[in-house]
Chains A and B, each alone.
Chain A
Amino acid sequence: MSPAALTPAQLVLWTGQHLAPNSPQYHCIFTFELRGQLDIDRFRAAYGALTAECDNMRTVFRTHDGEPRQEVLPTALVELAVTPWPGSREALEGEIAARGQELFNLDTACVDAVLWQLAENHHVFFLNQHHLIVDAWGVSVQYRRLVEIYAGERGAGATPSDQLPSFQTYRERLPSEPVSLPEYWDRAVDPVPPRLLGRGNAGGTSIAPRISLTLDADRTKALLALAERDGIRHWTRGMTLFNIFGTLLTAYVHKISGERAIAFGTPAGNRGTAEERRLPAQLIEMLPLYGSVAAGDTFLDLLGRLKTSGNDFLRSARPGVIRPRLSASFNVVLNYITAEFGALSPTISCRTRWRSPGHADPGHHLRLQVHDLDATGRLTLEFDLNEAVFPAADRDKVADQFLRLLDAMTSHPNRAIDNIDILGKAERQRLLAAGQGKNVAERPASVLAAFRLQADRTPDAIAIESPDRQLTYRELDEESGRLAAFLRGRLREAGKNVALLLPRSADLLIGILGCWKAGHAYLPLPTDSPDARLEHILGETGCALILTDQERYPRVEAFAIPTVLFDADRPAILRHDPTVGIHQPGDAPAYIMYTSGSTGTPKGVVVGHASLANYIAYARRRYVTTAAPVFPLFTTVGFDLTVTSLFTPLVCGGRVIVYPEPAPGTPDLAVLRVLDDDRCDVVKLTPSHLALLRGRDYRHARISTLIVGGEQLSTDLAREVTANFPVGAELINEYGPTEATVGCIEKSFSPANDRSGAVPIGRPIDNTEALLLDEGGQLVPDGMAGELYLGGSCLAHGYYRRPDLTASRFVDHPYRSDDRLYRTGDRARRNDRGELEFLGRNDRQTKWRGYRIELEEVEHLLAAQPGIATAAVELVDPTAWSQAPVDHYCTNCGLPANYPSASFDEEGVCQLCRGFEAYESKAKAYFRTLDDFRAIFAERPSQHGTEYDCIMLLSGGKDSTYALGQLVELGLKPLAFTLDNGYISEQALDNVRRVASDLGVDVHFGSTPAMNEIFVDSLYRHCNVCNGCFKTIYTLSTQVALEKNIPYIVTGLSRGQFFETRLTEELFWEDRHAEGSIDAAILEARKMYHRADDAVRKLLDTSAFETDDVFERVRFLDFYRYTDATLDEMYAYLDRRLPWVRPTDTGRSTNCLINQVGIYVHKKEKGYNNYAFPYSWDVRIGHKQRDAALEEINEEVDTEAVQKIMGEIGYHHPGENYDRRQLVAYYTGGEDLTPDALRQRLQRHLPDYSIPQLFLPLQDMPLTASGKIDRSALAALGGRPATENVAYEAPDGEIEELLANIWRDVLHLERVGRHDQFIDLGGHSLTAIRLSARIGDAFALEVPLHRVFELPTIALQGEYLEETLTRLLAETEGEI
């Protein structure tokens, strides 16, 4: 047999093996343990006969010109070796495992078999075959045939019909063309492969240990009972069990990944016919089966959907459907094996085992095999678990967890999946314990009590120091006592809220302590609060009193709330006795802190004294390493981050140093002063503050501890900054929403462990709890992302006067009644070291066209690129921007400001006009005179047998009608060609008929039944109808010209249209003898145009354009290249000479009714009228008035008429439900990086759907008052249509040119850009193989196949080749 191509199913395996040449992942290893009196010679002969019958067992795979081929060797390769096994049965297991991993040389043999003789009546037959030649069903076919031959039935000398069919004969009958993708798999949106246990990548390892379990009798019984139930029972028991295990697997994957849209791969058997069922070959194709888990779904819900989906799957499956995109769309596999084996003979029993080679395809993170090979009635489940995704500790849990689901399903198929705990009691206890901070009973009742204790201990130590005054502990205690006594005079009852509108000062602290002593909660109002915020807060809280000073009094005067002025009322305050009736706060509210919240309405968080005391006691134990530590007060009191610095020093004899606020409107750079003064031991700050310290040298500073809170801390920043601080100084990352009192999870930054991304947030502090729950409120397994819930002493009381909000965010503890948990809305996971990692806000994780996108993940990766200073990624609607009213039109040509990349100079003139000024004179050389036109016909007169000189494309509009008239005046005999597209206006048609008959010209009306389909295609492809219509006209008129042997087709395109469609600026750059090369370039463009794959090419006969010959036989002439008639001249001629009437029935100057559909769609999709650009050219070259152009492009379309036509042609405009948003990356810095360079860098880490479509560099990142990125400002910036920056870019340099040639050849393309993606261009494994071989040849270098996939563009491959070549060159030089 001559070498043959591989089937698509084989090719996938061959490629997989090629990518992992040393992995035994595709070994199909079976052992048959035979007990009984075996006739060895007979068995050996039977095996020989089997290999003679099975051409697959004699098939080998060899590469020819880089492409794999299969061929069948004429004779059996190896005789069955029979070897005595002297060792123990256990030792044989080791031998089996080792032998099963021995790699095949695919070009010599794909089978390895041996018969071990353990005892006279005990044999083990080992049969290992490469998956390329057989699948599990195929092995069972081989075995059963072996049984027949051994028994002497239909054995030697069997008739051909008894023999097994030949795979190669079967293969030859398979369609050689690629099979089109059935609708089931042809979805725009595939579910994303889930991250199992938070791990999305196997890192290339194929090692996948197998966990096996056989269901016990009870479970088997329960399962079979379930399978018999109505509504569950399906075609066959196998099919029913497949559905049940598919349901369980989908539910399990949901439980360990959190995903809801889940696909698993499962083999399409492709054995529908009797012949196929007897083929001992590899026929399966692993294809995705789609399922989903909605909130509240029961097992039965899931099963019902899977059943329908499975029907669709099986219905659609057929050989050749498989393709790389599908193979890559799942990482979980269910293999339900129905093949059966059984005894060798009535006297020889057989135990069949399918052995794991210990490896599996690296893309398969979890595979579940279910089988009952020897029909024992008990099912065996085998899990192959990729070692990188399931490390040993997690691997051990899989079987138990899966069985818990199985038991839940068999006992309660109607139970909601969300409510099922798969972890089990022990694991649940372990996770609960891991989420629990240390239990520390000993703590002060309140910060106030602790302060007073400290004041007794160190009365003369300085407690607070500010530029104008300093107070000892005794003075602070006394002054706050006097204030409390004074307040008692004003507010009879305790338990009120007192607003503090005071700058950072000693008074502020006196005020807080005074409030507490009088039994009130304080409510800090930052001095820079906007009026609206003050109004909202004071209005909502009904503050009993405002404590402020004279300077700030006017801001609160209007609220009619009693006010104490610290400065003016001081003499009165000081008259009070500091010691009487100090309130014992208990767990009364200590403060109310207002946070903005994502909804925008500020909400007041009420924090009690006990929570505050717990935090401050922890901060003292954990953060303070020196006696009498000094803390700076330099951040706003309206932010609970500042609480650490305000109170921690006061409970341990330390000191607060006040850094006053800057003048309003100036930046607060106090952090620099704090560090430069070098008087503090502990500094609490935000990562933004930390970024300000970049590049400054504090290695000899006093500081011992930096506590970072408020935002994500990147490891890069942490590393950079710690290097600039003293050795031994600790950088602590603290996490905590206001609702959980300042900080409740923390960890010390470790440069050794915390290497990439963000610094983990660590572990819960003393007496607090941090749990990760899934959407069903169940604990998630370690490693998997979940929502972070907080509990214990850290919890705030709730939101001030917002009981509904409080109830929705502070929820019942799922495992302990009476306890509450705060639902943070943050996503986190626990890493291998037991630390929590913050993954982002729940609401920053978005779904976009079915894909789950972690905006923060993209942001971090972008920010980590060299040179990028800040980055933000948002989903925004780019059309919102383009739909905004246009505020400017080019003052010269009328180009609107929302035309992509339009820019204007200070005179309001667009860059196109300015550019044209530079080449206008050169462009003039392109135009000719009517004499030249006449000369063309004189030079090349009509051929004999032709009655026409040319075809004139006549639309009935003024341009083409005028041109037709002129042709007749020139003495030519044209044939008019008019396309009746079904929507041409009646008046235009009348014009055509009238004018033609007046001129004595014949008219050919072209039409096609495919017109509507072409319109629809054009609308989807170009957002207009004209492209499709024009191409139809050119195609049909060329057919007429060829038929009638007419040498020329004359168009009536305007000069504006020339520039719009073909006369690009570049053509005039060089002073080449412009004419020849421009015409050649235009002709080339025309060839490409006709060969582009679209509806016209599909639906009309375009075979004529396949060869260049047609462009020689029929030439196109643009009439307006040869005349410069003005608008007035044209109208004058038409009015005087021809019976032409200006159309009125289209409501515009065009003569086609469907045109407005194009305009409508274009405006909707791109924001601007599709005529804006061609008209700007008409104006620019003086063929149209700017005002007339503007009037036309701003005319309203008749929406009703448009909808009606859309219905007629069958175009569905993506409606309101269509997600128009695009992923836009905003960034500062990175001037050296183009958007394409950024895109490529992200492509190394992220799936395509996570890569921003648009990269917008900004001068400055907009920030909110608290220093965070202002996302609403970014949304207002919007984006622009993504097509702009994915433009074609020509290959650059010799290497890329060479590469581009190879790509074009291999992919059969005319043009390939340097950033075009291999897969997008239709690349698949076979082309990748050819590509890698061809590149290898061209550069005399080994280019591994996987590189083609890893470096999917010419630019990336070029870079790789250049580096490799340079390195090789350097090495060679070194050798010399």
Chain B
Amino acid sequence: MEERILTFIKRELIDDDRIDLTADDDLLGSGLIGSMAVFRLIDFLEKSFSVRIPPEEMTIDHFMTVRAMSDYVRERQAVQKV
């Protein structure tokens, strides 16, 4: 999951395949991606991993890093299965 998200960020959001990005890099604090990009990312996560992300859970804790994102998405997947 982390790899797919990283690829999406590099190709679609940053438009630079060569950039060195890890799952623990702070994407928001560093200004790597802006707020509009976050919503494209959310669309990507919803479609790719079959989750629904409610607006009240679109918080910085869940999206600061790729690892935080994938943890959150797994959590959502588990919740939705119940």
A contact set with B: CB distance below 8 Å: 233-236, 238-239, 269, 271-274, 308-309, 311-312, 314-315
Contacts A236-B28, A236-B31; is A272 near B60 (CB within 8 Å)?
no
A311 touches B55 (CB 8 A): yes
Q: Which of B17-25, B33-41, B73-81 contacts A (4 or more CB under 8 A)?
A: B33-41
| Chain B residues within an 8 Å CB radius of A234 | 35, 59-60
Q: How far is the CA of A274 from the CA of B39 in the complex (A)?
A: 14
Q: Which of B37, B55, B56 contacts A272 (CB 8 A)?
A: B37
Chain B residues 42 to 82 lying within 8 A of chain A, measured CB to CB, are: 42-43, 55-56, 58-60, 63
Contacts A235-B60, A236-B28; is A309 near B36 (CB within 8 Å)?
no
Minimal beta-carbon separation of A232 from chain B (angstroms): 10
Q: Which residue of B lies closest to A317 (CB)?
A: B39
Pick 6 A–B contacts, CB within 8 A, sort by A: A234-B60, A235-B35, A236-B35, A272-B36, A308-B56, A311-B58
Q: Which of B42, B43, B59, B63 has the most CB of A within 10 A?
A: B59
B60 touches A312 (CB 8 A): no
Q: Which of B39, B59, B60 contacts A314 (CB 8 A)?
A: B39
| Chain B residues within an 8 Å CB radius of A309 | 55
A269 touches B55 (CB 8 A): no
B28 touches A235 (CB 8 A): yes
Q: How far is the CA of A273 from the CA of B40 in the complex (A)?
A: 9
B40 touches A272 (CB 8 A): yes
Q: Which residue of B lies closest to A235 (CB)?
A: B35
Contacts A235-B60, A311-B55; is A271 near B35 (CB within 8 Å)?
no
A314 touches B36 (CB 8 A): yes
Q: Which of A233, A273, A312, A314 contacts B35 (CB 8 A)?
A: A314
Q: Which residue of B lies closest to A274 (CB)?
A: B15
A315 touches B35 (CB 8 A): no
| Chain A residues within an 8 Å CB radius of B40 | 272-273
| Chain A residues within an 8 Å CB radius of B59 | 234
Minimal beta-carbon separation of B30 from chain A (angstroms): 10
In the complex, the 8 A-B pairs of residues with the closest C-beta atoms, listed nearest first: A311-B55, A312-B55, A235-B35, A311-B58, A274-B15, A272-B36, A308-B56, A239-B35
Q: How far is the CA of A94 from the CA of B55 in the complex (A)?
A: 48
Q: Which residue of B lies closest to A310 (CB)?
A: B55
Q: How far is the CA of A269 from the CA of B40 in the complex (A)?
A: 14
Q: How far is the CA of A15 from the CA of B29 in the complex (A)?
A: 41
Q: How far is the CA of A498 from the CA of B58 in the complex (A)?
A: 70
| Chain B residues within an 8 Å CB radius of A315 | 39, 42-43, 55, 58
Interface size class of B (residues with CB under 8 A): 10 to 19
| Chain A residues within an 8 Å CB radius of B63 | 235
B contact set with A: CB distance below 8 Å: 15, 28, 31, 34-40, 42-43, 55-56, 58-60, 63
Besides A235-B34, A309-B55, A315-B58, 9 new A-B residue pairs in contact (Cβ under 8 A), listed by A number: A234-B35, A234-B59, A236-B35, A238-B34, A272-B37, A308-B55, A311-B55, A311-B56, A311-B58
| Chain A residues within an 8 Å CB radius of B38 | 235
Q: Which residue of B lies closest to A315 (CB)?
A: B39
Q: Which of A269, A308, A311 contacts B36 (CB 8 A)?
A: A269
Q: How far is the CA of A274 from the CA of B11 in the complex (A)?
A: 11
Q: Which residue of A lies closest to B34 (CB)?
A: A236
| Chain B residues within an 8 Å CB radius of A239 | 35
| Chain A residues within an 8 Å CB radius of B43 | 315
Q: How far is the CA of A1272 from the CA of B76 in the complex (A)?
A: 54
Q: How far is the CA of A236 from the CA of B63 in the complex (A)?
A: 11
Q: Which residue of A lies closest to B38 (CB)?
A: A235
Minimal beta-carbon separation of A268 from chain B (angstroms): 9
Q: Which residue of A lies closest to B28 (CB)?
A: A235
| Chain A residues within an 8 Å CB radius of B42 | 315
| Chain A residues within an 8 Å CB radius of B31 | 236
Q: How far is the CA of A1261 from the CA of B45 in the complex (A)?
A: 64
| Chain B residues within an 8 Å CB radius of A312 | 55
Minimal beta-carbon separation of B9 from chain A (angstroms): 12
Q: Which of A234, A236, A271, A273 has the most CB of B within 10 A?
A: A236
Q: Which residue of B lies closest to A270 (CB)?
A: B36
Q: How far is the CA of A311 from the CA of B36 in the complex (A)?
A: 10
Q: Which residue of A lies closest to B46 (CB)?
A: A315
Minimal beta-carbon separation of B51 from chain A (angstroms): 14
Q: How far is the CA of A311 from the CA of B35 in the complex (A)?
A: 10
| Chain B residues within an 8 Å CB radius of A269 | 36
Minimal beta-carbon separation of B34 from chain A (angstroms): 6
Minimal beta-carbon separation of A515 from chain B (angstroms): 67
Q: Which residue of B lies closest to A268 (CB)?
A: B36
| Chain A residues within an 8 Å CB radius of B55 | 308-309, 311-312, 315
Q: Which residue of A lies closest to B61 (CB)?
A: A230
Minimal beta-carbon separation of A588 from chain B (angstroms): 61
Minimal beta-carbon separation of B62 from chain A (angstroms): 11
| Chain B residues within an 8 Å CB radius of A311 | 39, 55-56, 58
Q: How far is the CA of A308 from the CA of B55 in the complex (A)?
A: 5
B15 touches A272 (CB 8 A): no
Q: How far is the CA of A1249 from the CA of B37 in the complex (A)?
A: 39
| Chain A residues within an 8 Å CB radius of B34 | 235-236, 238
| Chain B residues within an 8 Å CB radius of A314 | 35-36, 39
Q: How far is the CA of A239 from the CA of B63 in the complex (A)?
A: 14
| Chain B residues within an 8 Å CB radius of A274 | 15
Minimal beta-carbon separation of B68 from chain A (angstroms): 13
A272 touches B39 (CB 8 A): yes
Q: Which residue of B lies closest to A312 (CB)?
A: B55
| Chain B residues within an 8 Å CB radius of A271 | 36
Q: How far is the CA of A315 from the CA of B40 in the complex (A)?
A: 8
| Chain A residues within an 8 Å CB radius of B36 | 269, 271-272, 314
Q: How far is the CA of A274 from the CA of B37 in the complex (A)?
A: 9
Minimal beta-carbon separation of A128 from chain B (angstroms): 28
Q: Which residue of A lies closest to B43 (CB)?
A: A315
Minimal beta-carbon separation of B1 from chain A (angstroms): 21
Q: Which residue of A lies closest to B14 (CB)?
A: A274
Minimal beta-carbon separation of B75 from chain A (angstroms): 18
Minimal beta-carbon separation of B35 from chain A (angstroms): 4
Q: How far is the CA of A312 from the CA of B58 in the complex (A)?
A: 9
| Chain B residues within an 8 Å CB radius of A272 | 36-37, 39-40
Contacts A272-B36, A272-B39, A315-B42; is A233 near B56 (CB within 8 Å)?
no
Contacts A308-B55, A312-B55; is A238 near B60 (CB within 8 Å)?
no
Q: How far is the CA of A314 from the CA of B55 in the complex (A)?
A: 10
Minimal beta-carbon separation of A266 from chain B (angstroms): 13
| Chain A residues within an 8 Å CB radius of B28 | 235-236
A238 touches B39 (CB 8 A): no
| Chain B residues within an 8 Å CB radius of A308 | 55-56, 58
Minimal beta-carbon separation of A335 from chain B (angstroms): 15
Q: How far is the CA of A906 from the CA of B55 in the complex (A)?
A: 64
Q: How far is the CA of A514 from the CA of B60 in the complex (A)?
A: 79
Q: Which of B15, B37, B39, B60 contacts A233 (CB 8 A)?
A: B60
Q: Which residue of B lies closest to A238 (CB)?
A: B35
Q: How far is the CA of A577 from the CA of B60 in the complex (A)?
A: 90
Q: How far is the CA of A272 from the CA of B39 in the complex (A)?
A: 8
Q: How far is the CA of A271 from the CA of B31 in the complex (A)?
A: 16
Q: How far is the CA of A271 from the CA of B43 in the complex (A)?
A: 15
Q: Which residue of A lies closest to B63 (CB)?
A: A235
Q: How far is the CA of A794 from the CA of B28 in the complex (A)?
A: 63
Q: How far is the CA of A233 from the CA of B64 in the complex (A)?
A: 11
Q: Which residue of B lies closest to A276 (CB)?
A: B36
Minimal beta-carbon separation of B47 from chain A (angstroms): 13
Q: How far is the CA of A269 from the CA of B39 in the complex (A)?
A: 13
Minimal beta-carbon separation of A1295 from chain B (angstroms): 51
| Chain B residues within an 8 Å CB radius of A238 | 34-35
| Chain A residues within an 8 Å CB radius of B56 | 308, 311
Q: How far is the CA of A274 from the CA of B34 in the complex (A)?
A: 11
Minimal beta-carbon separation of B72 from chain A (angstroms): 14
Minimal beta-carbon separation of B31 from chain A (angstroms): 7
Minimal beta-carbon separation of A274 from chain B (angstroms): 4
Q: Which of B15, B43, B58, B63 has the most CB of A within 10 A?
A: B58
Q: How far is the CA of A269 from the CA of B34 in the complex (A)?
A: 12
Minimal beta-carbon separation of B28 from chain A (angstroms): 6
Q: How far is the CA of A309 from the CA of B39 in the complex (A)?
A: 14
